[in-house]
Amino acid sequence: MSETINVMLAGPRGKMGTEALKMIDETNNFQLVGCIDRKHNGQLVSEVDGLPNLNAPIYTDAEEAFERLNADVFIDLTNPETGFKHTKLALHNHIRPVIGTSGFSDGQLDELKKLSHNQQTGVVIAPNFAIGAVLMMRFSQMAAKYFPNVEIIEKHHDEKLDAPSGTAVKTAQLIKEVRDSMKQGHPDEHETIAGARGADIDGMHVHSVRLPGFIAQQEVIFGQSGQTLTIQHNSTDRKSFMSGVKFAVEEVMKIDHFVYGLENLME
Amino acid sequence: MSETINVMLAGPRGKMGTEALKMIDETNNFQLVGCIDRKHNGQLVSEVDGLPNLNAPIYTDAEEAFERLNADVFIDLTNPETGFKHTKLALHNHIRPVIGTSGFSDGQLDELKKLSHNQQTGVVIAPNFAIGAVLMMRFSQMAAKYFPNVEIIEKHHDEKLDAPSGTAVKTAQLIKEVRDSMKQGHPDEHETIAGARGADIDGMHVHSVRLPGFIAQQEVIFGQSGQTLTIQHNSTDRKSFMSGVKFAVEEVMKIDHFVYGLENLME
Amino acid sequence: MSETINVMLAGPRGKMGTEALKMIDETNNFQLVGCIDRKHNGQLVSEVDGLPNLNAPIYTDAEEAFERLNADVFIDLTNPETGFKHTKLALHNHIRPVIGTSGFSDGQLDELKKLSHNQQTGVVIAPNFAIGAVLMMRFSQMAAKYFPNVEIIEKHHDEKLDAPSGTAVKTAQLIKEVRDSMKQGHPDEHETIAGARGADIDGMHVHSVRLPGFIAQQEVIFGQSGQTLTIQHNSTDRKSFMSGVKFAVEEVMKIDHFVYGLENLME
Amino acid sequence: MSETINVMLAGPRGKMGTEALKMIDETNNFQLVGCIDRKHNGQLVSEVDGLPNLNAPIYTDAEEAFERLNADVFIDLTNPETGFKHTKLALHNHIRPVIGTSGFSDGQLDELKKLSHNQQTGVVIAPNFAIGAVLMMRFSQMAAKYFPNVEIIEKHHDEKLDAPSGTAVKTAQLIKEVRDSMKQGHPDEHETIAGARGADIDGMHVHSVRLPGFIAQQEVIFGQSGQTLTIQHNSTDRKSFMSGVKFAVEEVMKIDHFVYGLENLME
């Protein structure tokens, strides 16, 4: 039997926050000890409309919450500004933070790293909680050493405004770290209609499909003479983030240092 | 039992020609009665290095071949110039031509159409013998009536020089015939790296992947709220053309008029 | 400009019914004139919690609704028993029914066919409103004439109890109608672990994947020497049915006879 | 600039052997110093029909070849019996062997391991030279720690006799090593047609498609709530093995011990 992990959470009424409460509720060895919220001070989570039936108190004062609650792990699903304050408070109280944001500056990350070191308290900052996407990027980086020719196709709903997606760009950057810069395709290739060969990131071609009916999908295709290797991630629901949050909570218990990105928690 | 179809063929030593001879050899009710070749006049097919063991005579004089041979169908796998002369000779001799070329001019096609009509002799001109590709284009045109949002991804080996592929452009044109012109994607979408959203053909986005390890593949993706429909053709070998040639030979026996494109032979 | 189609609907508070009301609301030339519901007699749709803001009256008495409302089309999204009664009432009142059910008996379908003929009023009964799935099945049947070798892979969430899915079985039956019965694969093939080659339907192999993360997906794969052709449908949301309902409403206005299955409304 | 690696090869006239000679010819820092063949003693490779234009001598006596040739690496593409003898001779001569076979017994592997240790000479035995397939298996094992629900679909031409494929079984075994044994799918799921849910390997379901038009393809699909992760390898040509041979030659130069499987050469 795993030992119980006492968890506190900031942002219980956001979409992600509510999903996280459900996940905590459904995980045998996780125990919710309290929440930080902008409203409902003094109430129980179970008393708030739309939240799961959990008997944990709500605090609007973060400092009070960190002092009163006997928590092992603190999950923050608010915003970068509030999240940064919370993370520092948590570390000062030796409560391990699990923070889902890509919005911290380099300076903020440095400050948290030092604080984690001084407090000897583990912290996980995760810009992406979708374990499948994290694995896709990691495998892509590994594969690129042996398959330098690679293209990326990402497919999203047609409400998405920017192309290529952030995940596609990040994947290309990770691949760039491990392969020599190269111009892919035939040296004499030409587009008879502009854009056919996609966006060029360090010689890699990236293609963005936007159609109703898709949610979020990416495939990374590696080719060499006689074979192709494809790694595809398909996300259909934000529930997919919860397995990543759960994993981070379990792993932050095992460390006493600063970790950025779920991939660095994986063996 | 099907009745035997007597076949003559021009271009037996080309790659496609040799594959066609094998196909004729393996088809129970096809019988090779002779070939037109630039060399080997008077020899048997079986006497020529690399050709199947078929006891059919070779002629270098096309006129002589069409007069002497008792053929039902004439297959031409040479080139547009020679093929045009052969087709006219075949029609004059009431032998039904099956011609694989996209190289005839509109004027030439008109001339053959009239000749076919006057001779009351069926003829099939096929720019593409890959039945799978023909079906993909046909289904795409049918689907577009109900799914106006569509993107095309075509993947080829990285020796291919032009992008997008001819098949992708043709597919987009066929779709264009049946849907209203529309700009796909969000009206405010923007590329952070040029080319990400692919080539634009009448509002449809077309993406060209070029990687070693691919041969020739295309997928046509239709999306609408809550669902996607994808039609994919994958070609791995020129043998794939032979089922199209066989189909054309069988169908040309049933018609006494001019047909352009295998799709117009399908029910 | 299209002329306005006056629509009445039974079952507004069911999941499908509410989606249909939204679709009617969003379609310019559709006008809701009233609903049949088991509750809320005399109220407006807009007064019922969870329904769109539409000023159409609700009737609990179906006969009264059909007599009072000046409707062109009647949509039923209730259940087979109620739906059958409603359909007969609609036809008697020369209102064209669009009914989404696979639950009518052959006898009931015959009765409705005769009634439609006598009343010279069009009716559409659709066991499946997902246009993409209907097209997938139709294209599969067309492709099978040229590609007799075919396998089906369907993928669903792991809460699904039966395998293969009803759509996979129906697809195989449609293919069976147009190809000769044949045993696929090598005559001497053997399974080293039972089940590897899937379920056998008239020689076609059908494979059922059950994994969390999938909703409902099917691919029909046709193969012949040197090429494959794949038709794939992916359903991610029940909203996907609404384009089929909308299509049926538009098409039923053009007919004065009985039609079973959306595929028979397509050109 | 990389230093030149002197290579000798046994089995130059086999399909794999000839491809390997081409690869050596095309690799700048590889130099063929000689071959072992059953015929053509004393001739040059360039003098044998069908082999590349390389001025390296052929020996029929293996012992003589190993003594006379100044090689760094020895590639064997013969058969397990001959290969085993050659490998021992190579190690005795401090020439690093790269051997592509899955046919050695455990006893033989032990013997080679000891000999490699005693001679302090690196050796690579690879049951599979397709780097893409090796990566697919490795990534699958890594992903299974986070995604215990997994199914495998492998697709081959319909001349393949056994199902599932050896690679599918090996992949399942590798996954089994890292996840707890579990029954996948709904506990109450049932097949209405036997075989629909595929072969069962430790709770994992494996599906074998056999169709003309496929060569060799495998996809490993991981699912969890809200997301799927798919790893796919597609092999279209035996040329795909050559990048694996090349990689093994480069890596064996860096080691002085015994390695079984390319995956153990990867970081």
Per residue in C76-105, pLDDT (tens digit) is: 999 999 999 999 999 999 999 999 888 899
**Given D40, D86, D156, D246, the catalytic residue:** D156
Q: Is D42 annotated as a binding residue?
A: no
B156 contact D CB<8A: no
Separation of alpha carbons C29 and C25, rounded Å: 9
C215 contact A CB<8A: yes
Domains A5-125+239-265 and A131-235 share a fold: no
A196 contact B CB<8A: yes
Write out residues in chain D with pLDDT < 70, as ranges.
Answer: 1
**pLDDT > 70: percent of chain B:** 99
* Residues of chain C with C-beta less than 8 angstroms from the C-beta of D186: 158-161, 210
C42 contact A CB<8A: no
Rounded to the nearest 10 degrees, what angle do helices A131-144 and A240-252 cross at? 80
pLDDT of residue D101: 82
pLDDT, tens digit (0-9, with 9 covering 90-100), for B170-219: 999 999 999 988 888 899 999 999 999 999 999 999 999 999 999 999 99
Closest chain A CA to residue D133: A229
In sequence order, what E strands does chain A have? 5-10, 30-36, 58-59, 73-76, 96-99, 123-125, 150-156, 162-163, 190-191, 199-201, 204-210, 216-224, 227-235, 258-260
pLDDT, tens digit (0-9, with 9 covering 90-100), for D107-166: 999 999 999 999 999 999 998 899 999 999 999 999 999 999 999 999 999 999 999 999
- 């020796």: which residue's tokens? B159
pLDDT of residue D102: 80
D213 contact B CB<8A: yes
A212 contact C CB<8A: no
* Residues of chain C with C-beta less than 8 angstroms from the C-beta of D227: 213
A113 is an active site residue: no
pLDDT of residue C221: 98
B212 contact D CB<8A: no
Residue B101 pLDDT class (50, 70, 90 cuts):
confident
Q: Which residues of B are catalytic?
A: 156, 160
Considering only residues 224 to 253 of chain D, which have any Cβ-Cβ distance to chain B shorter than 8 Å?
Answer: 234, 236, 240
* 3-class state of residue C212 by DSSP: coil
* Residues of chain A with C-beta less than 8 angstroms from the C-beta of D146: 131, 135, 243, 247, 266
Q: Is C101 annotated as a binding residue?
A: yes
Closest chain B CA to residue A156: B185
pLDDT at residue C1 above 60?
no
Domain locations in chain B? 5-125+239-265, 131-235
Per DSSP, what are the bridge partners of residue B252?
A: none
Q: Is D127 annotated as a binding residue?
A: yes
pLDDT of residue B238: 81
pLDDT of residue D181: 83
**Binary contact (A215, C234; C-beta < 8 A):** no
Fold of the domain built from segment(s) B131-235: Dihydrodipicolinate Reductase; domain 2 (3.30.360)
Residue B239 pLDDT class (50, 70, 90 cuts):
confident
Separation of alpha carbons C195 and D193, rounded Å: 10
Give the CATH number of domain A5-125+239-265; options: 3.30.360.10, 3.30.2010.10, 3.40.50.720, 1.10.10.10.
Answer: 3.40.50.720
* Residues of chain C with C-beta less than 8 angstroms from the C-beta of D212: 149, 223-225
pLDDT of residue C182: 85
Mutation for C interface: D175, D188, D207, D234, most C CBs within 10 A? D207
**What is the DSSP annotation of B175-218?**
HHHHS-----S-TT-EESSTTTT-EEETTEEEEEEE-TT--EEE
**Closest CB to A227 among B200, B213, B227:** B213
Considering only residues 56 to 75 of chain B, which have any Cβ-Cβ distance to chain A shorter than 8 Å?
Answer: none
> Which of A146-155, A176-185, B217-226, D4-13 is predicted with the least confidence, judged by mean pLDDT?
A176-185
Separation of alpha carbons C127 and C131, rounded Å: 11
pLDDT of residue D167: 93
pLDDT at residue B76 above 60?
yes
Residue B26 pLDDT class (50, 70, 90 cuts):
very high
Separation of alpha carbons B71 and B5, rounded Å: 8
Separation of alpha carbons B249 and B206, rounded Å: 34
Q: Is C70 annotated as a binding residue?
A: no
CB-defined contacts A:D, below 8 A: 127
Closest chain A CA to residue C236: A213
Separation of alpha carbons C234 and B110, rounded Å: 44
* Residues of chain A with C-beta less than 8 angstroms from the C-beta of D266: 142, 145-146
A187 contact B CB<8A: no
Residue C116 pLDDT class (50, 70, 90 cuts):
very high
